[in-house]
Amino acid sequence: MRTKSIEATLRDAERPSTRLARSLGPLQLTMMGIGVTIGGGIFVLTGTAAANYAGPAIAVSFALGALTSGLVALCYMEFASTVPVAGSAYTFAYVSLGELAAWLIGWDLILDMTMGAGAVASGWSQYVADFLASFGVHLPASVAGPEAVVNVPAVLIILVLTAVLASGVRTTSRINTAMTLVKLAAILIFLCVGVFHIHTANWAPFVPDSQPPGGDGGVWEQPLLGWAGISTNATFGFAGILTGGAIVFGAYSGFDIMASSAEEAKRPQRTLPIALMATVVVCATLYVAVALVVTGMDHYTHLDNAAPVTAALKAVGADWAVRVVGIGAICGLTTVVMIMLLGQSRVFLAMSRDRLLPEWYSRVHPVTRSPRRITWTLGLLVAFMTAVLPIQDLAELGNIGMLTSFIAVCVGVMYLRRARPELRRGFRTPWVPFLPVVALLLCLLLVGSLPLITWARFLGWMAVGLLIYVLWGRRHSRVATGELAADGSDGEEGPDEEGGDGGHGQGGPDEAAPPVTTEPAPEPGGARS
């Protein structure tokens, strides 16, 4: 099993031509996590998942997703504080499970973030259309919204945000913080207005009776567990809650993307655990609250659209709030798309550094320290996918990719505890192996609740990825070519090919990665195990 040592991984993060700037503190990283987490789940998927799968019990689906993501986040904290470099689950898999597993997880993460960004961009387009309609400006349905032949506004926002990302992480962080504050204010306004328009009759029945899967997909619309005889329905009932949880689980992807930005965090051993857990707690509370209010304001059967929050406000005649919350939703979804595009570029960067993808992509701009080549390549790919795929297909494909990467992280934490017990860890996941096993089982339950058609598309994507690995990555990776020795040592990095001098760019001289130590860690206390 080809693996890459943690020591070599950390040294790679400091190579002059590919090094990112460490410029994110706890507040900036937490706001980034909230910025990407609060958005698609509240403003887009709440309605479609309630109408098609769980009914008012979508609040329970969000709570289940929060529990699962919280447990997985504890595993992420150990990895991200020990190996604080770009790549998230891909990097964690490489140092624990080996090269093939890392490649598949990296390819999987690209799917997750590409589809997730596309799904949220589609919802963004609908909110923009509704906002303009409140002023009497109506965009043609053929170019905006879920029925559009080509969703022009969604494609345009992806291209604009790609340009922002190419300008550097500091600019991205400032824009994200401003828009996230607007988004949080809009959510609070919605809750304050909506709570006075709740009709408890809309919550009855809270868990609608199970029904056979709808649509024309037949057996392909059944969940994997239903096909295996474990569950018979994907729509409503207990199975509907599970399927709804699997679909809205993508709403909690913020901590995964935060981990992919670990290389840009100051003092990552302290910053990452604080930011990760704060993101999960804040976002879970808001998700459950909004789910209860929106299904109480309007019957769940009326929420099957890409803008359920403003639709619920329209249903109760709160037109002024539609405009205010619409602005917040537009800002909120903008930050989600932006940070998802950021996360996928960092995973791609890590894979390119290891030469599992062409090394040409790993070069960063000498001034902004941003990977512009990757950013534009992936931005154009997301724009294309958004133009041709409907929102629900995008969301389900993104979630199956994320759940698969979470499973790898849970397994990797347990493996690395055995393989490298002496490794100093910035944070130690409590109750290993019990807690990672529980998180693993919950992830398996959710991923098994996704429809068979989603599994078929996912396996097709993974087959393409495996073919690329066999034809390119397996022979060109730095581990395969012997550039990295068995002990993880490698040669010295030459001059920056982009014209940089190997300086620190935006980050400054105080932003180097902390030195690696393999001395035994002190006896843990408190939350540590």
| pLDDT for residue 258 | 77
* Residue 277 forms part of a structural domain: yes
Residues in the chain: 529
> If pLDDT is split at 50, 70 and 90, which confidence band does 513 have?
very low
Across the range 136-148, mean pLDDT stands at 79
Q: Looking at the predicted structure, is the pLDDT value of residue 510 above 70?
A: no
CA dihedral 113, 117, 119, 121 (to 10 degrees): 180
> If pLDDT is split at 50, 70 and 90, which confidence band does 146 have?
low
* Residue 523 forms part of a structural domain: no
Q: Looking at the predicted structure, is the pLDDT value of residue 202 above 80?
A: yes
CB 364 within 8 A of CB 371: yes
| pLDDT for residue 293 | 94
Query: Which residue's structure tokens are 């567990």?
Result: 225
> If pLDDT is split at 50, 70 and 90, which confidence band does 492 have?
very low
Across the range 90-112, mean pLDDT stands at 88
d(CA 430, CA 412): 15
Q: Looking at the predicted structure, is the pLDDT value of residue 520 above 60?
A: no
Start-to-end Cα distance in the chain: 29
Q: Looking at the predicted structure, is the pLDDT value of residue 438 above 90?
A: yes
CATH number for position 48: 1.20.1740.10
**Angle of helix 152-166 versus helix 319-353 axis, rounded to 10:** 50
The 10s digit of each residue's pLDDT in 238-262 is 888 888 887 777 677 676 777 777 7
| pLDDT for residue 288 | 92
- Share of the chain residues as helix, strand and coil, in percent rounded to the nearest 5: 65, 0, 30
Q: Which residues of 242-270 are buried (b: 16+ CB within 10 A; e: fewer)?
A: bbbbbbbbbbbbbbbbbbbbbbbbbebbe
Percent of the chain beyond pLDDT 70?
84
d(CA 75, CA 93): 12
Beta bridge partners of 265: 24
The 10s digit of each residue's pLDDT in 358-403 is 888 888 888 877 888 999 999 998 888 887 776 666 666 667 877 8
Give the DSSP per-residue string, 231-299: -S-SBSHHHHHHHHHHHHGGGGTHHHHHHHTGGGBSSHHHHHHHHHHHHHHHHHHHHHHHHHHHHHHS-
The distance between the two most distant Cα atoms of the chain, rounded to a whole number of Å, is: 69
* Residue 380 forms part of a structural domain: yes
Q: How many domains does the chain have?
A: 1
| pLDDT for residue 395 | 61
Show the tokens assigned to 214.
């709808």
Q: Is 156 exposed, middle or buried (0-12, 13-18, 19+ CB in 10 A)?
A: middle
Across the range 269-297, mean pLDDT stands at 88
| pLDDT for residue 411 | 92
| pLDDT for residue 13 | 77
H or E, element range at 330 = helix 319-353
CA-wise closest residue to 363 among 345, 342, 349: 349
* Residue 519 forms part of a structural domain: no
Q: At residue 451, what are phi and psi to the nearest 5 degrees?
A: -65, 155
* Residue 136 forms part of a structural domain: yes
* Residue 255 forms part of a structural domain: yes
CB atoms within 10 A of CB 223: 27
Average pLDDT, the chain: 80
| pLDDT for residue 231 | 53
| pLDDT for residue 58 | 92
| pLDDT for residue 200 | 93
Q: Looking at the predicted structure, is the pLDDT value of residue 506 above 70?
A: no
Cis status of the peptide bond prior to 205, with omega within 30 of 0 = yes
Indicate the pTM of the whole model.
Answer: 0.75
d(CA 296, CA 308): 12
Residues whose CB is less than 8 angstroms from the CB of residue 192 and which lie 6 or more positions away in sequence, other chains included? none
CB atoms within 10 A of CB 481: 10
> If pLDDT is split at 50, 70 and 90, which confidence band does 426 have?
confident
| pLDDT for residue 294 | 92
Higher pLDDT, 149 or 392: 149
CA-wise closest residue to 150 among 468, 389, 326: 389
CB 29 within 8 A of CB 261: yes
| pLDDT for residue 215 | 52
Across the range 107-119, mean pLDDT stands at 81
Q: Looking at the predicted structure, is the pLDDT value of residue 455 above 60?
A: yes
Cis status of the peptide bond prior to 436, with omega within 30 of 0 = no
The 10s digit of each residue's pLDDT in 27-44 is 888 888 888 788 767 777
Question: Any idea which of 213-222, 302-311, 492-501 has the lowest mean pLDDT?
Answer: 492-501
d(CA 108, CA 95): 17
Cα 259 to chain centroid, rounded:
10
* Residue 518 forms part of a structural domain: no
Range of the domain at 130: 6-511
d(CA 465, CA 108): 8
| pLDDT for residue 14 | 80
Q: What is the 3-state secondary structure of 162-190?
A: HHHHHCCHHHHHHHHHHHHHHHHHHHHHH
* Residue 517 forms part of a structural domain: no
